[in-house]
Amino acid sequence: MAMSRLEGTRGAEPPPLLVFAALREELAPLRRRGHLGLELIRTGVGVANADRTVRWRLQQAKVRTVLGIGFAGGLSPSLQVGDLLVARQIRGNSTSEPSRELLQAAESVCTDRLAVHFGIATTVSDFVCKASSKQALARAVGNEQVACVDMESAAVAHACSEHGIPFLIVRCISDRLDEDLPLDFNRCRKADGNISPAKVAWAALLHPQALGPLQELQKRSRACAEKLAQFVEELIPWIRL
């Protein structure tokens, strides 16, 4: 059932809508647009970084709603690069479900311009770089499910659930189920879990055949970030203030 648009309350400024993402690139289009009422926060890569950052922010001041956004690998053959997946369920060490109201809001903004799927976001601790590994995850999730894999959603969902904050997870597919990533990005991580650009550059020099696919992945990532920004922009008017 679609929600009707509701006017914001007058008087005091409402608490912000927080948008968490692991990478600066995932937030860049939203940051350029400069929406009032949105607070954009980069968590860093991985469950530990996301958990620490989200919990820190939720303890600082009142929060209205949380959106967790970012790139993801497809775990279903139906998911193509650039498709959006809104998570009805988030799986990690535990299972979480988002706000029903926010799911209804997401259903209300589905348009022909955005390929939006609803399914499962599953969170793992390492980059899933091989198609064979994604296919194994797909079997574990259930081949009949529409699903994606990422490294932060479960941490965002778990922290919000503990604090009683309504949340929604939205991911954009950057690599399909049948695709390998150009490099083993797990070997390009720093001690804090984030990606080291220097290590990526060195790995690319050692494997020059990866240069073309890396450039393609960067191009896809920029397009995915724009899709996420468009979805968030269209979602905002449907969220109760």
pLDDT digits (tens, 9 = 90+) for 31-86: 998 876 899 999 999 999 999 999 999 998 888 899 999 999 999 999 999 999 99
Whole-angstrom distance, CA of residue 17 vs CA of residue 38: 5
State the Cα–Cα distance between residues 75 and 178, nearest whole angstrom.
9
List the domain boundaries for the chain.
17-180+224-238
Q: Which residues of 172-183 are buried (b: 16+ CB within 10 A; e: fewer)?
A: bbbbbbebebbb
pTM over 0.85: yes
Name the fold adopted by 17-180+224-238. Rossmann fold (3.40.50)
Q: Which two tokens stand for residue 156?
A: 């965002």
Tens digits of per-residue pLDDT, 102-122?
999 999 887 667 789 999 999
Q: How many CB atoms lie within 10 A of CB 100?
A: 10
- Eight-state DSSP code of residue 185: G
